[in-house]
Amino acid sequence: GAGVSQSPRYKVAKRGQDVALRCDPISGHVSLFWYQQALGQGPEFLTYFQNEAQLDKSGLPSDRFFAERPEGSVSTLKIQRTQQEDSAVYLCASSLAGANTEAFFGQGTRLTVV
């Protein structure tokens, strides 16, 4: 596709419900990142994939958060037993590879846990 696509744009979940957020990176992009952006804050790093390998998951806030990228393209961020503090915008970014390549962001998924 022309850009990074995320779905859904908005998600309302009841506390305790499981959710899955999808990211379609730009075709051919090796690197994929997930960020969490709380209201009024800057994005915070969650996890990084290089192709299908999850090389860094140090930013995942708890074991309720799980991310995968099984074929090295589409990625899914899953949150189990959602809590109110999980309410945030979840941003996905992709890049070709390397620190000197630009990261392109999607429009994010706004998750509201009620």
Partner 1 sequence: AQTVTQSQPEMSVQEAETVTLSCTYDTSESDYYLFWYKQPPSRQMILVIRQEAYKQQNATENRFSVNFQKAAKSFSLKISDSQLGDAAMYFCAYLPGWGGGADGLTFGKGTHLIIQP
In the complex, least distance from residue 16 CB atom to partner 1, rounded to whole angstroms: 26
Among 20, 51, 73, 105, binds partner 1 (CB under 8 A): 105
Nearest to 79 by CA among 59, 93, 63: 63
Binding mask 63-102 for partner 1 (x = CB under 8 A): --------------------------x-x-x-x-xxxxxx
Distance, in Å, from the CA atom of 34 to the CA atom of 6, rounded to the nearest integer, reads 11
Nearest to 104 by CA among 45, 49, 32, 38: 32
110 is a contact residue toward partner 1 (CB under 8 A): yes
Q: What token pair was written down for 112?
A: 């509201």
Q: How far is CA 42 from the centre of its chain?
A: 15
Q: What residues make contact with partner 1 under the rule CB under 8 A?
A: 31, 33, 35, 40-46, 48, 50, 55-56, 59, 89, 91, 93, 95, 97-103, 105-108, 110
